[in-house]
Amino acid sequence: MTFFGKALAIAGALAAAAPAWSAEPQTVLFIGNSFTFGANSAAIRYRADSVEDLNGDGIGGVPALFKAFTEQAGLDYRVSLETSPGKTLKWHWENRRDRIDRVWDHVVMQELSVLDYAHPGDPTVTIDYAGRLAAMMAARNPKVDVSMTATWTRPDQTYRPEGHWYGKPVTQMALDLRRGYDAADAASDAIDRVNPVGQAFNCAIQAGFADPNPYDGIAYDQLDLWSYDHYHASIAGYYLEALVVFAGITGKDPRTLGKGEKAAGDLGLSGEQAVRLQQAAAATVLGQDCAALGATAD
């Protein structure tokens, strides 16, 4: 089953399981680090009052973007987050279990950007602690939907000589990370799927929507998916991340948000840019040819 088909099946099953009379929103918890909370961008404080930051840091980030999308889609989700910069899932397990060990309908987990500081690309520790966290969530709610967000290629790891992925195609790091997340998914019955965010970045590049190398300048009419450090995401990158997670949790096609999507306008993306990012997210989760998008953009 495709990612999107699996997401639709999960969303449909959850909807069918909910009592028809229930007015309670579904709950969503995001666990992660700066790649979830929107570091180096205006996303970090975006609509922070629309979500619950369990650490009290006043973060909006990707969770708030997700929340904005659900509101515009007419859906009711109560969104929480537990994030800390530069931290691993192991750290969240060892230091924040007391804040997150409760009943959730959906949990989204995001690991360190290279998976392991000492061994970049090695998923061994991720497999262990993602499994522990997922099992803890499932013990609270056997029907919980647990996903993992596979993040993007870092240009500083690709174009700089000291980078672990130096000399490889800009798309390679994201693919290697995805394999690591897939290994964690396969090792745990409690993890339901992987959100292919890094592959959505690759898709935007392949479609000609985004520039592949921020070190040599951004080409005309292309987006920079990364912030000034060529490491964290830009507004466009975090927006794309939130679109992919939105598709996974809700089963909705992100293209239905359309040119007038409000968060894009709030954060300085044009309607055309929002549509292109929505197309890249949809093509990724549907397994479509990203290169073909450039001919049909806008």
Q: How many domains does the chain have?
A: 1
Query: Does the residue 164 lie in any domain?
Result: yes
Local structure of residue 217 (DSSP, 8 states): -
144 in Cβ contact with 181 (< 8 Å)? no
pTM score of the predicted model = 0.93
Q: What is the pLDDT of residue 297?
A: 53
Spans in the chain with pLDDT lower than 50? 1, 9-22
Contact 130, 188 (CB under 8 A): yes
Residues whose CB is less than 8 angstroms from the CB of residue 255 and which lie 6 or more positions away in sequence, other chains included: 275, 278, 279, 282
Q: What span, in angstroms and rounded, lies between the C-alpha atoms of 289 and 113? A: 26
Torsional sign, CA 42, 271, 81, 146? negative
DSSP assigned state of 169: -
92 in any annotated domain = yes
* Structural tokens at position 135: 């099992």
Decide if 227 contacts 257 (C-beta within 8 A): no
Coil vs helix vs strand at 245: helix
Phi-psi label, residue 162: left if phi above 0, alpha if psi -120 to 50, beta otherwise: alpha
Instruction: Look up tokens 């666990």; give the residue.
Output: 31
Q: Determine, yes or no, domain membership for 108.
A: yes
Asked if residue 28 is part of any domain, the answer here is yes
Q: Residue 29 belongs to a domain with what CATH number?
A: 3.40.50.1110
Structural domain boundaries, residue 139 = 3-15+24-287
pLDDT on residue 21 = 39
- Does the residue 296 lie in any domain? no
What pLDDT score does 294 carry? 81
Nearest Cα to 43, choosing from 74, 25, 67?
67
> pLDDT tens for residues 10-35?
444 334 333 333 468 999 999 999 99
Strand partners, 195: 149
Do 129 and 88 contact (CB within 8 A), yes or no? yes
Residue 294, domain member (yes or no) = no
Round to whole Å and give the CA distance between 42 and 288.
31
Task: For residue 58, tell me if it sits in a domain.
Answer: yes
Q: How many CA atoms lie within 13 A of 194 on its CB side?
A: 25
Is position 297 within any domain?
A: no
Under DSSP, the state recorded for 219 is P
Comparing C-alpha atoms, which of 29, 250, 263, 38 is closest to residue 282?
250
